[in-house]
Amino acid sequence: MHQPIVVTADSLHVRSGPGRSFSITNKLTKNTRLSVSDRQGDWYYVESSGIQGWVFKKFTKTVALRSVQPSMQVAQRQPVYTLSKSLQHLKGKTIIIDAGHGGKDKGAIGTQGTYEKDLTLRTALILQNKLQKEGAHVILTRTRDEYVLLSQRTLQSTKADAFISVHYNSTNSSQLTGLMTYYYHQHQDSPLTHSIHQSLIEHAKLKDKGERFGNYYVLRENTRPSTLIELGFLSNEREETYINSISYQQMITSAIAEGLNHYFQNKEKTQTHL
């Protein structure tokens, strides 16, 4: 996308997510130039000169590409990660995306102050957009910064074809890095977990920490194929910076979509041979 814009208000808040309920991470002054790399409704995700976050579209205007400063031209040349192929097996599928934590439950807090609850929702919204473009019916357990009971999250999945709970990791050790995925019911959940995990490892430049059994409520009390994914460590400063980038968010959501497509493709093959 990478549309150049300029701030028109005297001051403009940069937020951690696409909405006024998200925390303020920076403040911009009038005439600041930025590069838009994503959009959710009336909110732009911007990247430029070390600034990353969401700004309200109303207080900006687009500018001609020729007037963009050199630092922005570099940002424009960065590749945007898109789906590598048509994901035809997603069409018509009902998929629940559970953005972990929310509201009073902040989840993990990164070394640079990233709230897990904000990052999981950001990932969920990007993933929702990609899956819908492939014809899937997508339901989010939350669409804003709100607290949702675990029982309400699983209740929404009763007729779903797949349930994905999105999380980011944290530990007392600042050295640990990597991603991992969890399942609870071996027969029901493991195939979904495996397909998504393999796709994540193929595309993400993170350490493979494996597929694991996880005794989590949203998996244990779920009657549909379910997985919980931990997409990196906020407790590692370098990894926190990486997983906050739009390039990582685009890459990781494309990987999840491709993993889902592979899961449904394999399931259809199995059913035709029964």
CB 95 within 8 A of CB 65: no
What tens digit of pLDDT does each residue of 160-171 get?
999 999 999 999
Two structure tokens written together for 148: 């949702």
What domains can you pick out in the chain, each with its CATH number? 3-77 (2.30.30.40), 88-272 (3.40.630.40)
Residue 146 annotated to the active site = no
Candidate list 47, 116, 230, 239, residue with the active-site label: 230
Tens digit of pLDDT for each residue in 24-75? 878 888 888 888 878 888 988 887 666 778 899 999 998 764 433 333 333 3
Q: Decide: 125 and 40 in contact? Cβ < 8 Å.
A: yes
Contact between 214 and 148 (Cβ < 8 Å): no
Task: Read off the pTM.
Answer: 0.74
pLDDT in tens, 172-227: 999 999 999 999 999 999 999 999 999 999 998 899 999 999 999 999 999 999 99
DSSP per-residue letters across 108-150: -B-TT--BHHHHHHHHHHHHHHHHHHTT-EEEES-SSS----H
Residue 133 has pLDDT above 50, yes or no: yes
Residues 22 and 117: their CA atoms lie apart, in Å, by 10
Q: Cβ(255)–Cβ(197) under 8 Å?
A: no
Q: How far apart are the C-alpha atoms of 268 and 21, rounded to whole Å?
A: 41
Q: Is the dihedral of CA 272, 227, 118, 243 positive or negative?
A: negative
